[in-house]
Amino acid sequence: MTLALVRRQAAMEIKHGKAADKWKVLRDASAAMELLKIQSNSLAVLDALLSFYPDNELRQDAQLIVFPSNAQLALRAHAMAGATLRRHIAILVESGLIARKDSANGKRFARKGDDGQIENAFGFDLSPLLARSEELAMLAQRVAAERASLRKAKESLTICRRDVRKLITAAMVEGADGDWKTTEDIYIALASRIPRVPTLEGVTSVLNEMEMLREEVLNRLENLENAEKISTNAAHIEQHIQNSKPESVNESEPRSEKEQGAKASLSHQPKNESQRAFPLGLVLKACPMISDYAPRGVGSWRDLMSAAVVVRSMLGVSPSAYQDACEALGPENAAVAIACILERANFINSPGGYLRDLTRRSERGEFSLGPMIMALLKANGQGGLRAG
């Protein structure tokens, strides 16, 4: 017995009239066993000691000393070996859960008075359990809270890992700009640091870094998407500027052989369908599903093109495939093509490959959106409408 333990037992006071359920105290001690630095066998011995106390309630005004022999105690402690029993009794004493009250000869016994009541007893004192009942309850609550926090942290880490893995894979599959291989290496190194025996501190540390990596990947992809939108809008504006300044036959006549060569080269390029061939209302009747991907509905061509960007990503169409379609068909018609593909998504195995095929056919002058829109109108029960 250490001096610190002696001082702690001497200072331990039990309020008058205090009582506690002995089995609840045992459950609290069991929940807090790691904080108390005791083992399961120690709890088995404590359980056996409590079984020798006749009442279910530990009371301040009751006799709280039990005096079983080692043979009786070992039997109730699941036939524990004598040496093991003595070692765990010492652990319980050292942890301040019980105290020894030794007789002059070291024996455990009780002395009764004339009325048959126990006047004095020597053995194991259970009063520390009653004195520390509130403390043990708080320790048990602390352990429960830490376990709940650990469970939540593990769940959050699992979800975050899944998100980062999907984002990196999508970026690599779609060929997004950036060094995604290095990002993947960082993710793998971070995942390898997850402890085999998870602790709240260890899991939280990895979770914080994984969340930072997810935020960085999301920001990078968002910047790439914004740059893509700016590029598409710039091409759209340039096409409108060119179309708003038509040249007469005389003004467009080339003034040099160099200009003549350039004009001849442009005249053989595939026609860019930058002009909108169909009214927006007709497109929406043929392709009503695209409106579900516009936050405020589709009220303009700009809304349709914004929704098409969302659908493009959802269908797994790469940014490069969509950019090629914008260059070949024009931004508006490329958005219409995405809306048409969305309507037939259940019948198309590879939306990205399908769009690339439409783009190549359009560049060769072998494809027009008209038949596709008319077919969808007919399928949606709008067959009587005509493009105007």
In-domain check, residue 144: no
In-domain check, residue 145: no
Tens-digit pLDDT profile for residues 295-316: 788 888 888 888 888 899 888 8
In-domain check, residue 127: yes
Dist CA 58 CA 140 (whole Å): 19
Are both 112 and 174 inside the same structural domain?
no
Structural contact between residues 330 and 235, judged by C-beta atoms closer than 8 angstroms? no
pLDDT number for residue 224 = 73
Are both 131 and 157 inside the same structural domain?
no
Are both 22 and 126 inside the same structural domain?
yes
Are both 96 and 10 inside the same structural domain?
yes
Among 240, 212, 144, 224, which residue's Cα sits nearest to residue 179? Answer: 224
Are both 129 and 170 inside the same structural domain?
no
pLDDT number for residue 126 = 92
Are both 160 and 58 inside the same structural domain?
no
Are both 128 and 170 inside the same structural domain?
no
CB atoms within 10 A of CB 213: 20
Q: Which domain holds residue 107?
A: 1-135
In-domain check, residue 251: no
In-domain check, residue 142: no
The CATH number for 85's domain is 1.10.10
Residues 6+ apart with CB under 8 A from 71: none
Could you say which of 76, 106, 135 is where a domain stops? 135
pLDDT number for residue 267 = 36
pLDDT number for residue 237 = 43
Q: Domain tally for the chain?
A: 3
Tens-digit pLDDT profile for residues 104-123: 777 887 787 767 677 788 89
Are both 84 and 112 inside the same structural domain?
yes
Are both 355 and 299 inside the same structural domain?
yes
CB atoms within 10 A of CB 119: 11
In-domain check, residue 32: yes
Are both 121 and 187 inside the same structural domain?
no
Are both 28 and 95 inside the same structural domain?
yes
Give the global pTM: 0.51
Residues of the chain with pLDDT under 70: 1-12, 114, 116, 225-277, 382-388
Could you say which of 223, 250, 268 is where a domain stops? 223
Could you say which of 104, 135, 166 is where a domain stops? 135
In-domain check, residue 267: no
In-domain check, residue 253: no
pLDDT number for residue 257 = 42
Are both 177 and 60 inside the same structural domain?
no
